[in-house]
Amino acid sequence: VGFQKILTLTYVDKLIDDVHKEFRDKYRTEFQQKGALGLLNGTFDFKDDFMRLLREAEESSKVRAPTVMKTFEQSLKSQKTVKCMIETRGEKPKEKVKNKKNKGSKKEAVEAVAVPGKASAGDKQPPAAGDREELTKDEILQKNREEFFKRHMKAGEKSRSPKPEAQKEKGKKPRVWDLGNSNAKVLDYSNSATNGSAEACPVEEFDPDTALGDRNREPGRLYDLEYESDDEAEEEKVIQNPAKPSAKKGGLGGMFGMLKGLVGSKSLTREDMDPVLEKMKDHLIAKNVAAEIAVQLCESVAKKLEGKVMGTFTTVTSTVKQALQEALVQILQPQRRVDVLRDVMDAQRHRRPYVVTFCGVNGVGKSTNLAKISFWLIENGFSVLIAACDTFRAGAVEQLRTHTRRLNALHPPESHGGRTMVQLYEKGYGKDAAGIAMEAISYARNQGFDVVLVDTAGRMQDNAPLMTALAKLIAVNAPDLVLFVGEALVGNEAVDQLVKFNKALADHSMAQTPRLIDGIVLTKFDTIDDKVGAAISMTYITSKPIVFVGTGQTYCDLRSLNAKAVVAALMKA
């Protein structure tokens, strides 16, 4: 009974019914006299009866004759003629329906025959006085089963009947996509009157916490990049001269040799610094600094320290490390510092918009960080016009439109005297990016916008036609600031990107003094932990400052570069 799936016994149901009736009839009077307590306190000697019923059930299962397969003459197939097997197109569905109905009626008839058979088998034995109540329940169950089978078969016939009608419709139909549109005119916004109107970017309702992150920040302030370094002192190894007496000769000799190595009594030589510089070079490469730049940095530090007299109680390792840290800080702090807010106010005095162009390879986060910079400018009281000049990537215009809606929701016109602080200038896809940028700058000048942020399509540095188009956009529109957007994840690739971008701008520019990259936006800085070498590689190869650092996905995740924090992360063991 407990393991019917493992051991299938045909007589289990009959055995349970027989045991139930036998036990009930044998102890009926005891149950009626003692009630429920009789089940708990009574003793039942039923083992012999159970074994007898078990033997009878086993013998009855053996006596049952095996089922005999029908002969061909007894089957329905033998009764069919050749004429009835010939089917025409029009009659094919109807024949199927008839067959299905016949099958259903056959099943119905089988059930109807089986159920009365069971009832007649039950009626052969006259019921005792105590069995009348139990048999009436069985009869009720049998009637319910008959009604259920009838309803089930009728529902099956109803569900099957519409199928032939559906098969009558022939011919393949083209699939229509809900969001698809083969008409290219839908993607053309040239003749639309949405540019510059508040209706083009309706206010969107959303949770400001998801877009702002930290609500306790000071509005409009660009925080410095922070890095929490461990205060654990690094153990320095003293480079000892092999000619000096070793510590094994005695405690006094070892102490004297160590002091002699610490006291500044000699100048540094290349042989002393080479082991330390080799370790420093490997360390910088492991922190994502380009290999070529790591070698050049170590060479410059070696030339600077060669012949220098060491200070008292200093080691070669600490001296080289200190010199390398100073060199890295100087690299990250170029002479020309970009102050965007000061330059925007200067452009305001000359009654013209301040134009910033963003360029870079694919997928580095140009549009996202453009939206962050827009938010920062709006919080400082400047109106922004975003020029959608990425006319190649699918969804680029829609992405900027979504950012514009959210920025307008965070800074509605009501909070700025009815003035819309951010708008999107768009002309759709497949247009000339340089022409759109020129129209956007002209529109911003006429409408009194303070800043124009030009978003361009991502392009690989080896793609000559696209690099020519970018050089044309910059040469024709002459932006005030050209920002290269690069990832903090790259190593040697950062050098290759910046060198080729600058080379392409110089080669394809028609001016005598070509316009090159003015600054860098370093993105995805929150994904690299302490592997910050890309910042060193980018600034070293271009001598241009890192103006902004992207550190997350919210509009507030924008930082200014803190050179000392970056160097601390770079020098961490």
CA distance 35 to 45: 18
Q: Is the pLDDT of residue 97 over 70?
A: no
Asked whether 544 and 334 are in contact (CB, 8 A), the reply is yes
pLDDT of res. 146: 80
Residue 167 banded pLDDT, cuts 50, 70, 90: low
Arithmetic mean of pLDDT, 480-487: 93
Cβ atoms within 10 Å, residue 509? 16
In the chain, % of residues over pLDDT 90: 26
Looking at residue 388, what is its pLDDT?
A: 94
State if pTM tops 0.85: no
pLDDT (mean) for 90-97: 49
Q: Give the mean model confidence (pLDDT) for residues 259-279.
A: 75
pLDDT band at 223 (very low <50, low <70, confident <90, very high): confident
- The 8-class DSSP code of residue 225 comes to P
Residues 6 or more apart in contact with residue 379 via CB below 8 angstroms? 219, 220, 411
| Residue 504: predicted pLDDT | 85
Tracing tokens 């994840």 back to the chain, one arrives at: 489
Instruction: Report the alpha-carbon distance of residue 467 to residue 355 in Å, rounded.
Output: 20
For 186-200, 222-236, 519-533, which range has the lowest pLDDT when averaged over its residues?
Answer: 186-200
Name, in order, each residue with C-beta under 8 angstroms of 297's C-beta and a sequence gap of 6 or more: 281, 284, 289, 324, 327, 328, 536, 540
Q: Which residue has the higher pLDDT, 154 or 1?
A: 154
Q: Express each pLDDT in 422-458 by its tens digit.
A: 999 999 898 899 999 999 999 999 999 999 999 999 9
Is the pLDDT confidence value at 402 over 90?
yes
Tokens of 152: 């089930």
Helix, strand, coil percentages (3-state) for the chain, rounded to 5, are 55, 10, 40
Mean per-residue pLDDT of the chain: 76
Strand boundaries in 503-567, DSSP class E: 519-523, 546-550, 558-559
CATH T-level topology, domain 340-571:
Rossmann fold (3.40.50)
Domain boundaries, the chain: 267-332, 340-571
The answer to whether residues 477 and 454 touch, using CB atoms and an 8 Å cutoff, is yes
Residue 55 banded pLDDT, cuts 50, 70, 90: confident
- Between residues 423 and 83, the one the model is more confident about: 423
Q: Of 443, 501, 447, nearest to 473 (Cα)?
A: 501
Amino acid making up residue 423: Q
| Highest-confidence segment of 200-209, 267-276, 476-485 | 476-485
